[in-house]
Amino acid sequence: MPAFPRLVRLFTPVAALLLVACGGSPAPAPTADAEAAADPGELNLYTTREPGLIQPLLDAFTAQTGTRVNTVFVRDGLLERVRAEGERSPADVLMTVDTGNLLDLVDAGQTRPVQSQVLADAIPAHLRGADGQWFALSLRDRILYADKDLALDGFTYEQLADPKWKGKVCIRSGQHPYNTSLIAAMIAHHGAEATETWLRGVKANLARKAAGGDRDVARDILAGICEIGIANAYYVGRMKNEAEGSEQRQWGDAIQVIRPTFAIDGGGTHVNISGAAVALHSPNRDNAVKLLEYLVSDEAQSLYAKANYEYPVKAGVELDPVVASFGPMQVDALPLARIAEHRRQASELVDRVGFDN
Amino acid sequence: MTAAASALAMAPVRSRARPDGWLLAALAIAAVALLPLLALAWTAAQGSDAWPHIVANVLPQAARNTLWLLLGVGALSVAIGTGSAWLVTAYDFPGRAVMAWALLLPLAVPTYIVAYAYLDLLHPLGPVQGAIRSVLGHEGPREFRLPDIRGLAGCIVLLGLVLYPYVYITTRAMFMTQAAGLLEAARTLGASRAAVFRRVALPLARPAIAVGAALALLETLGDIGASEFLGVQTLTVSVYTTWVTRSDLPGAAQIALSMLVVVVAVIALERSGRRRAGYASAMRPRPMQPQRLRGAAGWGALALVALPVVLGFVAPATHLAIESGQRIVDGTGVSPMLWRSTWNTLRVALLATAATLAAGLVLAWALRLAQARRRTRLATAALRIGSLGYAVPGTVLAIGLLAPLAWFDDGANLLLRAAGLEPRMLLMGSLGALVLAYMLRFLAIAGGGVEAGLARIAPSLDQAARGLGAAPRRMLARVHLPLLRPALAAAALLVFVDAMKELPATLLLRPLGFETLATWLYADAARGAYEDGALAALLIVLAGLLPVILLARTGLTYGHEVAPA
């Protein structure tokens, strides 16, 4: 069998590579994690948030406290993973970019209450759980991007369904948590029936498929596909702070920003949060609380505003000039938990209306 | 002589006396593959009060979209894959040698990357429409623009462009190794070019087309990146919506399980395509003598086969290269984390490839042994069950795996505690979980590849080997493995490329601080800055290139290799 030595020749380098692959690991091995969990100098963060956005904050925290922060970015399934890991879980802090996901973790009993005067003083009562189970760390307002040549004033979310915008509205998938949250708020204000009518109206006004991301709204306004659209505010901060002449800067410069409100007495702008909770089985509890307290310090809140262009939860923190240029924000007074209650109904409404089809 | 004779007499006795270790191993693998599905079924059985809503408002549209997507991608990938395989095998034209392997290049481009790239390329502000406008003399996109690529049609075209190589590689191998004699006979008898293709080549290639098309369809079914990004509500996207947006895991599991119906249909389709295909040959296959195409015909053939390469690979890769170049110049692109992610990606893909190949070999070999004994039901079932993971969307499989992983860790911790050691996570949150997830996901490729490879080895060889007294293990090592080498190498390279691109299961199951190129890219995409991930995307494509080129060499040239010298 002359082919057999050839076969050996083929697989020998493969076997050698495998040995290399199993050995010398630059990333922390599982046993290292387990040991790390016992080390007071560490902290393990599970987050649905893109690590690039919080890394500057975590680096600053590490510089200040010496505590190393290990992160894993789990987009979907954070709850399922933590639940399956059970008491072995190394997770200390659970961080999400949506109220609903955070409350799911609380409801599933995967968080533990935190008593902290620092957190209570910094975060307004409606932006944290009454029992200390969860805390909002920054606000993400859902606003209107509009062609910069349009004359608009006092825009309301309800006006998105106005037939005068037929074929002129851009938005991402109705099933995206940012949108279901807005629709849920609409249900909380006006009821499911009125919201369905409104959503059908918005659907009829779409200029293109409800898909893509938030920045695509600005880009598509520049491209003339649409004239107005709904997206989160911090993308504008990012686009308008890009280098002059870059693509993103052109998208950002093509739009004006309007903070819509709900058309009711005292109605404000819809906000979602990024927030966090301490994990039920957190092995480094003290460090977990320290991180949360750091994240609401003036320094970190200002970093949120300047590095991420998000709105601080803490009053009186200096804003990025672009964010400041949007003017003062009147936040919708509806408690976040009430909005989250309607999230599922909102998602089902999106299906029923065929918003994404 | 006497030794051989006595071995011949003993062989059946031995196989009856010993329990069939291969079959037991295959059944064990199938059991592991079944665990996540059982866990999902358990979750689904918890019941979701949203089921009436799902039936009324989600399934009809999602099923319709999925069906059209499967039909479209199937037709497109079969047309491109078969057509190009035929052109580069039957004809000789300028650039043919390069095109023969370049046609595989789109395999290196993940579907989500091709979607990101094309949205940029074909956007009204992008280079293509810009060029069209400047030719037509229009000022800006407000005066003239092409229709949006978001939608079903765009999704079909993009998926077809990156998935056709699955059909190409299987079909080309078939044309090269099997068809030569018959095709030349047909030519000699005066059949026209079209008639040779339609009446001889196509029917011969049907089993190969079925295998390749099934892979392409299962990839399509599991796709989440491209279809979600382009706004196509498929069944898979609906599973996500139900699970993530509505926090309704039982409902999501129910949709996922109902998708298995589609999967079974695809697999059945592949089976029926392969049936009556007793194409094993004990004769050494002979490569086909390509016909020379001269002049315009030659250049036309080149243009035809170059088109899918340019659209499926060159255009998106060039776009990524330009975007990456800009970021390297800005100094924003390269970070140590990126290199670490590259290393992690290669490492975990390599481990997964080894595990998957070993498991696939066990499954297919157990079936081969069972075929000889004419008792194939169990072994066939094991191979089919092992293949199911390919068709379940990555995250769904990963969610299903969470519970079994926890059970394993619970059990292991009982032992650890008994031994006086600290409890820890052995599988979950370690590379073990990732490797297992990849293995279950891509076992279909390895198992199917080895099975198809074995099918080309005539059963008479087994009979001869057993007649000479070789036990199954010895027979595998001395007879089949050497002959299987091309099939094994092809399967390994396909699994490797797929494991490297895998995103959803990686996102959920990876350990703390463990980033791969795909998760790195996804992190950028998730904050809406996917072009910042251009470098990671380019690295995925580059890292996939080498295996694809190797694949082209092993998969496409072995027809020559085994030919008589």
Tens of pLDDT along B360-414?
Answer: 999 999 998 888 888 888 999 999 889 888 878 787 888 889 889 988 888 888 8
Determine contact, residues A91/A82, Cβ cutoff 8 Å: yes
Position with higher pLDDT, A117 vs B493: A117
DSSP labels, B155-174? HHHHHHHHHHHHHHHHHHHH
Residues A148 and A261 placed together within one structural domain of the fold: yes
Task: Give the residue numbers spanning the domain of A125.
Answer: 42-139+271-318
Question: What is the mean predicted confidence (pLDDT) over A79-99?
Answer: 90
pLDDT at B527: 66
* CA nearest neighbour of B173 among B95, B312, B285: B285
Same domain, A150 and A205: yes
Please give, rounded to a whole number of angstroms, the shortest distance from the CA of A261 to a CA of chain B.
24
Q: Which residue type is seen at A115?
A: Q
Asked whether residue A145 falls in the same domain as residue A256, the answer is yes
A178 and A262 inside one domain: yes
Q: What is the CATH number of the domain that holds A125?
A: 3.40.190.10
The pLDDT, as a whole number, for residue B528 is 63
> For chain A, first and last CA: distance in Å?
60
B82–chain A Cβ distance below 8 A for any pair: no
Answer whether A344 sits within 8 Å of B148, measured CB to CB.
no
Chain mean pLDDT for chain A? 87
Q: Is pLDDT above 90 for B489?
A: no
Do A86 and B406 count as a contact with CB atoms less than 8 A apart?
yes
CA dihedral A93, A97, A103, A107 (to 10 degrees): -50
B512 to A84: CB separation less than 8 angstroms, yes or no: no
Q: How far is A103 from chain B (nearest CA, A)?
A: 11
> Looking at the predicted structure, is the pLDDT value of residue B76 above 90?
yes
Residue ranges of domains in chain B: 21-557
Taking residue B6's Cβ as centre, other Cβ atoms within 10 Å add up to 11
The answer to whether B230 contacts chain A (CB < 8 Å) is: yes
Strands A228-232 and A311-312 come out as unpaired
Q: Are A147 and A254 found together in one domain?
A: yes
**Across B334-359, average pLDDT:** 90
Over the stretch B161-178, which tens digit does the pLDDT of each residue have?
999 999 998 888 778 766
For A135-177, how does the pLDDT look when each residue is reduced to its tens digit (9 = 90+)? 999 999 999 999 999 988 889 999 999 999 999 999 999 999 8
Asked whether the predicted pLDDT for residue B7 surpasses 50, the reply is no
Residue-wise pLDDT tens digits, B234-261 = 998 888 888 878 888 888 888 888 888 8
**Sequence-ordered strand ranges (E) for A107-178:** 111-112, 135-147, 169-170
C-alpha A104/C-alpha A86 separation (Å) is 16
Q: Is the pLDDT of residue B273 over 80?
A: no
Residues 6 or more apart whose CB falls under 8 angstroms from that of B411 comprise none
Q: Which of B123, B231, B519 sits opposite A73 (nearest CB)?
A: B519
Cβ A71–B57 below 8 Å, yes or no? Answer: no
pLDDT at A202: 98
Q: What is the pLDDT of residue A169?
A: 97
- Containing H/E element for B304? helix B296-309
Same domain, A339 and A223: yes
> What does the alpha-carbon distance between residue B510 and residue A81 come to, in Å, rounded to a whole number?
11
Q: In whole angstroms, what is the distance from residue B428 CA to residue B405 CA?
A: 6
Contacts of A79 in chain B (CB under 8 A): 247
- Judge whether residue A26 has pLDDT over 80: no
Round to whole Å and give the CA distance between A147 and B564.
Answer: 71
Residue A30 clears pLDDT 60, i.e. is over it? no
> Mean pLDDT, chain B, as a whole number?
84
B79, amino acid identity: A
Give the domain B21-557 fold.
MetI-like fold (1.10.3720)
Provide the percentage of residues in chain B whose pLDDT is more than 90.
29
Going by C-alpha positions, the residue among B430, B459, B304, B560 that lies closest to residue A31 is B430
Task: Tell if the CB–CB gap between A52 and B519 is shorter than 8 Å.
Answer: no
CB of B370 within 8 Å of a chain A CB? The answer is no
Side-chain-side CA neighbours of A207 within 13 Å: the count stands at: 19
Assess if residue A7 is contained within a domain.
no
Check whether B32 has a pLDDT greater than 90.
yes
Backbone angles phi, psi at B270, to 5 degrees: -65, -45
* pLDDT at residue A255, as a whole number: 95
Q: What type of residue sits at position B396?
A: V
The beta strand positions in B228-311, using DSSP E, are 291-292
CA distance B523 to chain A (A): 5
Interface contact flag, A27 B344, Cβ < 8 Å = yes
pLDDT for A36 equals 45
pLDDT at position A133 over 80: yes
- pLDDT exceeds cutoff 60 at B282: no
Span B457-467, mean pLDDT? 83
CB-based burial label for B107 (10 Å; 0-12, 13-18, 19+) = buried
Q: Is A257 a member of any domain?
A: yes
Instruction: Say if residue A126 is in the same domain as residue A209.
Output: no
Nearest to B342 by CA among B523, B538, B493, B539: B539
Cβ contact B499:B348 at 8 Å: yes
Please state, in angstroms and rounded to a whole number, the distance separating the CA atoms of residues A149 and B303. 46
pLDDT digits (tens, 9 = 90+) for B491-539: 888 899 899 988 888 888 888 888 898 888 877 776 666 667 788 888 8
Assign residue B95 a region: left if phi > 0, alpha if psi is -120 to 50, beta otherwise? left
Q: Which residues of B touch A341 (CB under 8 A)?
A: none
Q: Are B116 and B126 in contact, with CB atoms under 8 Å apart?
A: no
Helix (H/G/I), strand (E/B), else coil: B104: coil
Report d(CA A315, CA B340) in Å as an integer: 40
For residue B118, the model assigns a pLDDT of 93
For residue B188, with 0-12 CB atoms within 10 Å meaning exposed, 13-18 middle and 19 or more buried, which class applies? Answer: exposed
CA distance B106 to B162: 5
Asked whether the predicted pLDDT for residue B6 surpasses 50, the reply is: no
Report chain B residues whose CB lies below 8 A from the CB of A92. none
Say if residue B460's pLDDT is above 80. Answer: yes
* Cα separation, B169 vs B555, whole angstroms: 7
Q: Average the pLDDT over B262-284 and give the result.
A: 68
Q: What is the per-residue pLDDT for A5?
A: 46
Shared domain check, A275 and A204? no
pLDDT > 80? residue A273: yes
Tell me which of B527, B530, B562 to substitute to probe the interface with A (most A C-beta atoms closer than 10 Å). Answer: B527
Model confidence at A122, pLDDT cuts 50, 70, 90, reads very high
User: How many domains does chain A fold into?
Assistant: 2
Nearest to A129 by CA among A277, A2, A323: A277
* pLDDT the model gives residue B560: 34
Contact between A129 and A119 (Cβ < 8 Å): no
Q: Which amino acid is at B517?
A: L
Residue B341 pLDDT more than 80?
yes
Asked if residue A261 and residue A150 are part of one domain, the reply reads yes
Distance CA B70, CA B540 (A): 26
Give the lowest-confidence range in A117-131, B94-108, B473-487.
B473-487
Q: Which span out of A4-8, A96-100, A242-246, A297-301 was modeled with the highest average pLDDT?
A: A297-301
Chain A residues within an 8 Å CB radius of B36: none
User: Binding site residues of A, as ranges?
Assistant: 234-235
> Per the domain annotation, does A80 fall within a domain?
yes
Residue B350: list chain A partners with CB under 8 A: 17-18, 21
Are A202 and A348 within one domain? yes
pLDDT of residue B340 exceeding 80, the answer is yes
Question: Rounded to a whole number, what is the distance in angstroms from the first to the last CA of chain B?
Answer: 31
Enumerate the H helices of B374-503 as residue ranges. Answer: 377-387, 394-418, 431-455, 459-467, 472-475, 481-501
Whether residue A90 has pLDDT greater than 70: yes
CB atoms within 10 A of CB B422: 13
Q: What part of B 34-73 touches A (C-beta under 8 Å)?
A: 50, 53, 57-58, 61
Domain-located, residue A9:
no
- Determine which of B13-17, B38-42, B68-72, B418-422 has the lowest per-residue pLDDT on average: B13-17
Burial class (CB in 10 A: 0-12, 13-18, 19+), A331: middle
pLDDT at residue B15 is higher than 70: no
How many A-B residue pairs are in contact by the CB < 8 A criterion? 209
Q: Please indicate, yes or no, whether residues A146 and A248 belong to a single structural domain of this protein.
A: yes
* Residue A37 pLDDT exceeds 60: no
The CA distance from A295 to B409, in Å, is: 34
Specify if A259 maps to a domain: yes
Q: Are residues A153 and A301 in the same domain?
A: no
State mean pLDDT over A46-65: 87
Q: How far is B246 from chain A (nearest CA, A)?
A: 5
Rounded (10°) angle between helices B377-387 and B21-45: 50
Q: What is the pLDDT of residue B108?
A: 86
Tabulate helix, strand, coil % of chain B (nearest 5).
Answer: 80, 0, 20
How crowded is the C-beta side of A34, counted as CA atoms within 13 Å?
17
Q: Which residues of B touch A354 (CB under 8 A)?
A: 61
